[in-house]
Amino acid sequence: MYSLKGKTAIVTGAGSGIGRSVALLYASEGANVTVSDINVQEGEETVKLIREAGGEAFFVKADSSSPEDNEALVAATIERYGGLHIACNNAGIGGPAAPTGEYPIEGWDKVIAVNLSGVFFGMRYQIPAMLNSGGGAIVNMASILGSVGFAMSPAYVAAKHGVVGMTKNIALEYAAQNIRANAVGPAFILTPLLKDFDEDTFKWLESKHPIGRLGQPEEVAELVLFLSSDKASFINGSYYPVDGGYLAQ
């Protein structure tokens, strides 16, 4: 339905959660997938799942907050598959919970480094590779918090707002060169990022979503696949929530 046959994709943070679901879906549609994560075991498990399903993938360990790792990730992809056509910049962390006036500087620096600078570093090296491949599609993983605030999470909110802004810039700069960029804004999704939440917090989070539950990684991946495919050829510079009605309130 969304054939990606003959195309090559990079997915960061693909060792679990949304990233793994995106990588599996890309591969199921025929793409060669470079699976990237800082966790080698989880990244290799994603590759194994893809290969068991008949897809093509390999793993590259990379820290999204490192420019050098992002450059090496793109280089490894080109060396193995000959080009780059799709990138899903998904890697992210939650960070500490604290009000802005008490937020730990170390926590701020880390969240911005991974969630904002990491997306920039990824695109910085992905874009030239895509231009050499005749164009491509970028999907950046923002959040519902790319458009609204959330108390006790100033770094995360700032980073995700920044991701939405950067995505619009890419659309303006590269549309004429056949590169599209869009951002996806998941609400709270059942991923390892929520593993430390207690039962009361889960219930409270569920109550924030009019649909009455948290989302599944696969539900986000379906939108990412569409935006990455030629079916979305006229969609560029946009931000799409996947939020069970969260932002409708």
Give me the DSSP letters along 137-204. Answer: EEEEE--GGGTS--TT-HHHHHHHHHHHHHHHHHHHHHGGGTEEEEEEEE-SBSSGGGTT--HHHHHH
pLDDT of residue 2: 83
Judged by DSSP in three states, 180 sits in strand
- What whole-number distance in Å separates Cα of residue 84 and Cα of residue 178? 13
Domain positions in the chain are: 8-240
pLDDT of residue 183: 98
Of 25, 59, 61, the residue nearest 224 (C-alpha)? 25
Using an 8 Å Cβ cutoff, are 47 and 19 in contact? Answer: no
Of 154, 168, 61, the residue nearest 123 (C-alpha)? 168
pLDDT of residue 199: 84
- What whole-number distance in Å separates Cα of residue 140 and Cα of residue 229? 14
pLDDT of residue 192: 77
pTM equals 0.96
Q: What are the DSSP E strand ranges found in the chain?
A: 8-11, 32-37, 56-61, 86-89, 136-141, 179-186, 239-242
The structure tokens 């519902």 sit at 144
174 is catalytic: no
Length of the chain: 249
pLDDT of residue 1: 74
Q: Which two tokens stand for residue 170?
A: 């890419």
Q: Which two tokens stand for residue 185?
A: 């804004």
- What whole-number distance in Å separates Cα of residue 82 and Cα of residue 193? 34
Q: What are the DSSP E strand ranges found in 78-169?
A: 86-89, 136-141
The structure tokens 């990233």 sit at 19
One of 156, 174, 240, 246 is an active-site residue; which one?
156
Give me the DSSP letters along 54-91. Answer: T-EEEEEE--TT-HHHHHHHHHHHHHHHS---EEEE--
Using an 8 Å Cβ cutoff, are 163 and 146 in contact? Answer: yes
10-residue stretch averages of pLDDT, the chain, 249 residues long: 93 97 98 98 98 98 98 98 98 96 98 98 98 98 98 98 98 98 96 78 90 96 98 98 96
State which H helix or E strand residue 227 sits in. helix 217-228
Class of domain 8-240: alpha beta
Using an 8 Å Cβ cutoff, are 228 and 137 in contact? Answer: yes
Using an 8 Å Cβ cutoff, are 142 and 240 in contact? Answer: no
